[in-house]
Amino acid sequence: MTHEPVHGTWEPLPAARWEDGFLSGNGHHGALVCGDPDDDRVVVTHHALVRPNGSEHARPPRLAAQLPALQDRLLAGDLTAAEDFTDGRPLQWVQPFHPAFQTRLRRSTDEHADFRTGYRRSVDFTTGETTAVHADRTSRVFVSRADDVVVQCVTAPGRTLDIGLDPRLPNAPAGLVVDDGALLTAEGALLTLRVRYPDSDRAYTGLTLVAVTGGTTALAPSGVRVTGAASVLLLTRVHRSTGEEPDPAARAQELREVWGGQSYDALLARHLPPHRSAYDRVTLDLAADPAERALPGSELLGRPGSAALLERLFAAGRYHLLSASGMNPPRLTGLWTGDWDTAWSGAFTNDANVNLQTASAPAAALPEVTEALAGLIQRQLPDWRENARAVFGARGAVAPAHTDGESGLTYHFDREYPLHLWTAGADWLLKPLVDHDEIRGERDPRTAAVLAEVARFYEDFLTRTDDDGRLVVVPSYSPENRPANASWGAINAAMDLSAARHALLTAADYHPGTPDAERWHALAERLPPHRINTDGALAEWAWPDLDDSYDHRHLSHLYGVWPLDEITPYDTPRLADAAHRALELRGAENDSAHGHLHHALIAARLRDGERVARALAAVLEGDFFHASLMSAHYPNRDVYNADAAHTLPAVLIEMLVQSTPDRLVLLPALPAACPEGELRGVRTRFGAELDLTWNRETATAVLRPTRTHRIELRTSSGAQPLDLVAGEDRVLTLGAR
């Protein structure tokens, strides 16, 4: 490639909407940067901030004693029996994610500038830094991975600058109890904020250290007023109060020690190594037009067929995914929101969204993301055990469909969304961790332990059989769909079959040579095969007389195609053809971004490049992306949501490179819109780093294996064995495509 892709984005005007604000984050704190140099606004967020709504006391329904009767009724043909499998509670949402507050830096009205010319704001993905410049005024912001603090520096701030912290962002509850204050010290001003939730003893605190170069600082109604300064440095932290109140003086001293009199550039230098090393591991170059690469993001979004747009969205997606992952993996909104009323509580939604957003992490060399996911699973594992006991009377672990990051208990369900019946979640959440272990060639004992618990759940749960002696998954639920002729809770959902089989076999693989492994393997062998319906499609329910409902955003029944390798064009061609037919018949329902990109991921596994291109076009042409390059859930930028932004890199990788522990597939689903390019640094599940370069005639792959292994190489020309030797690069040249 002759021109380096752009690793950032920019805009020529301030962000009038918070949704257009550029983003920075370290997986704990987030910063959403909007406003302008006359009224700098940085919305500060933190993964731990969820508003009490009553669900903090919710427990899973205790239904285990009723389970045998429900199974009897379903197996006897009562297709509405699961509607009674409840304790009668109303739908309870998880605690909603919300912003902490915004830092505001306001100049006096007689100093305001005209930003219609000479203004530029940008975000550098390689550093995590956002910058706004107008004339001699600059505002720079990043969230430090080294020090876990939001850092902002304003130069040439003007004659006067009022600085304060404001939690009353859009849709803030009327009953918030806000105590704020300011203190002048020898080290600088301290702004403090304590916010208590309505009708709750829970609260959170914010603290900002204001260090001024030149000029004077005085107390003001809004916080502090800085006069005649050359520059102002702000360091901000948020703390969630979970019982005992933190010592404000100790928190302030921690912030002073982080600062230690250092400059903004010195603090940035501490942050750069962990951030840059992660971001730089993988890059995508589609040989885009240099003139289009130079465009601001909002203008580039108006060119949905542009290779430069795909390059930038790939880079932005990896940047935002990395920035949102640390304490937790990304939420529905990543790590950011400027509104207290977040759609769907800004939850971790485990029946598709978390899984899609983290899909690229193993191949895109972001172990930071898989580690964040592993941390969430480990913290919530005791709750997963309670779910299994309460709902199913079983040992082991069952993941909830929704979580706020605190509780992992199942309590979000109702008649139309009987999510307490869903048993496949743990397997899907563990899949990226298994992929990561395959990449590095070592098995994480934490993953092995959770897999064993999931397998034990299936040992206790899978007790019913059909007339042929096959095990039956009953009750069974296919998120978030229902059979055309039955209620939501049914029998043998394809996803449940695939997840149970995969979890049992993977757990056995992680515990070789043990009696447990023998039992788990034997149990997996007793599960029924998938069913092909009268339309020639893989049925969403492998149970006679349950009819498919095709127009739905979820594609849960094709879980065996993606993310699993249970159904492939190479090993199971008949099932792959049926899965492809099911994909053809699937509607887009409400045009959710996650539905389109889930469709694209499955199409890529089935080697359908045209279908991948159509699914991508639906998102790129549907106005799903804000100027920040964060995405929306629906077309026309409706509902701030990270699904499209974080999932798109996975789609682009899957259409270029796919791998299993024993197979490499090159260029399986390349759309015509990407005739040439270079993907560098992608990781494979057989333990090799890979660089791929292609054009209209040929392709070259360079493999850098870390272990000796024979794999199968699949290209458009067919299959051939490939021997890899640890430490020896292997260069593959493919002929005409």
Tokens found for residue 429: 């959440």
3-state secondary structure string across 702-714: EEEECCCEEEEEE
- Cβ burial of 423 (10 Å; 0-12, 13-18, 19+) is buried
Dihedral angle over CA of 253, 259, 260, 263, nearest 10: -160
Rounded Cα distance between 164 and 176, Å, is: 17
- Cβ burial of 382 (10 Å; 0-12, 13-18, 19+) is exposed
- Whether residue 475 is preceded by a cis peptide bond, meaning omega within 30 degrees of 0, is yes
Asked if the model's pLDDT at residue 640 lies above 80, the reply is: yes
Q: What is the mean pLDDT of residues 206-213?
A: 96
Taking only the tens place, the pLDDT of each residue in 132-190 is 998 888 999 999 999 999 999 999 888 899 999 999 999 999 999 999 999 998 888 99
Taking only the tens place, the pLDDT of each residue in 544-564 is 999 999 999 999 999 999 999
pLDDT of residue 115: 63
Rounded Cα distance between 668 and 676, Å, is: 14
Asked if the model's pLDDT at residue 4 lies above 80, the reply is: no
- Tracing tokens 């009767």 back to the chain, one arrives at 69
How many other C-beta atoms are found inside a 10 Å radius of the C-beta of residue 294? 12
Taking only the tens place, the pLDDT of each residue in 396-412 is 999 999 999 999 999 99
Q: Which domains does the chain have, with CATH numbers?
A: 23-49+100-276 (2.70.98.50), 55-95+304-653 (1.50.10.10)
Q: What residues contact residue 78 under an 8 Å CB cut-off, 6+ apart? A: none
Q: What residues contact residue 347 under an 8 Å CB cut-off, 6+ apart? A: 93, 94, 97, 331, 332, 402, 403, 404
Chain centre distance of CA 8: 20
pLDDT of residue 241: 82
Q: Which of 54-63, 246-255, 471-480 has the lowest mean pLDDT?
A: 246-255
Taking only the tens place, the pLDDT of each residue in 613-624 is 999 999 999 999
- The full DSSP string for 485-538 is TS-SSBS-BHHHHHHHHHHHHHHHHHSTTSHHHHHHHHHHHTSPPP-B-TTSSB
Largest CA distance in the chain: 85
Rounded Cα distance between 11 and 706, Å, is: 42
Strand 8-11 versus strand 22-25 pairing type: unpaired
Residues of the chain above pLDDT 90, percent? 91
**Spatial CA neighbour of 370 closest among 424, 438, 308, 316:** 438
How many helices and strands (H and E) does the chain possess? 16, 29
- Tell which phi-psi region holds residue 636, choosing left (phi > 0), alpha (psi between -120 and 50) or beta: left
Dihedral angle over CA of 312, 318, 321, 327, nearest 10: -140
For residue 281, the number of C-alpha atoms closer than 13 Å in the C-beta half-sphere is 22
Asked if the model's pLDDT at residue 736 lies above 70, the reply is: no
Q: What is the mean pLDDT of residues 432-443?
A: 98
Asked if the model's pLDDT at residue 529 lies above 90, the reply is: yes
Rounded Cα distance between 667 and 670, Å, is: 6
User: Strand, helix or coil at 39?
Assistant: strand
Buried b (16+ CB within 10 A) or exposed e, 385-420: bbbbbbbbbbbbbbbbbbbbbbbbbbbbbeeebbbb
Asked if the model's pLDDT at residue 245 lies above 70, the reply is: no
Taking only the tens place, the pLDDT of each residue in 267-279 is 999 999 999 999 9
pLDDT of residue 36: 79
Contact 103, 167 (CB under 8 A): no
Strand 709-715 versus strand 663-666 pairing type: parallel
pLDDT of residue 579: 98
Chain centre distance of CA 332: 7
- Tracing tokens 């999932």 back to the chain, one arrives at 647
Q: State the chain's mean pLDDT as an integer.
A: 95
Q: What residues contact residue 203 under an 8 Å CB cut-off, 6+ apart? A: 177, 194, 195, 196, 197, 241
Rounded Cα distance between 429 and 427, Å, is: 6
Residues of the chain above pLDDT 70, percent? 98
Angle at CA 714, nearest 5°, toward 710 and 718?
120
Taking only the tens place, the pLDDT of each residue in 668-687 is 999 888 899 999 999 999 99
Contact 631, 18 (CB under 8 A): no
Contact 493, 540 (CB under 8 A): yes
Contact 323, 26 (CB under 8 A): yes
Q: At what angle do helices 307-323 and 643-656 cross, to 10 degrees?
A: 120
Rounded Cα distance between 124 and 268, Å, is: 13
Sign of the C-alpha dihedral computed for residues 602, 447, 333 and 31 taken in this order: negative
Sign of the C-alpha dihedral computed for residues 504, 463, 397 and 415 taken in this order: positive
pLDDT of residue 5: 86
Helix or strand holding residue 688 (H, E): strand 688-694
- Cβ burial of 440 (10 Å; 0-12, 13-18, 19+) is middle
Contact 384, 75 (CB under 8 A): no
Asked if the model's pLDDT at residue 1 lies above 50, the reply is: no
Residue type (1 letter), 406? E
> What single-letter DSSP state applies at residue 565?
S
Q: What is the mean pLDDT of residues 29-55?
A: 94
Contact 612, 562 (CB under 8 A): no
> What single-letter DSSP state applies at residue 128?
T
pLDDT of residue 246: 63
Sign of the C-alpha dihedral computed for residues 259, 265, 270 and 271 taken in this order: positive
Rounded Cα distance between 85 and 68, Å, is: 11
pLDDT of residue 243: 64
Contact 431, 350 (CB under 8 A): no
Q: What is the mean pLDDT of residues 311-327?
A: 98
- Tracing tokens 């962000």 back to the chain, one arrives at 15
Residues pairing with 713 in the sheet: 664, 720
Taking only the tens place, the pLDDT of each residue in 653-673 is 999 999 999 999 999 999 888
Buried b (16+ CB within 10 A) or exposed e, 202-233: bbbbbbbbbbbeebebeeeebbbbbeebebbb
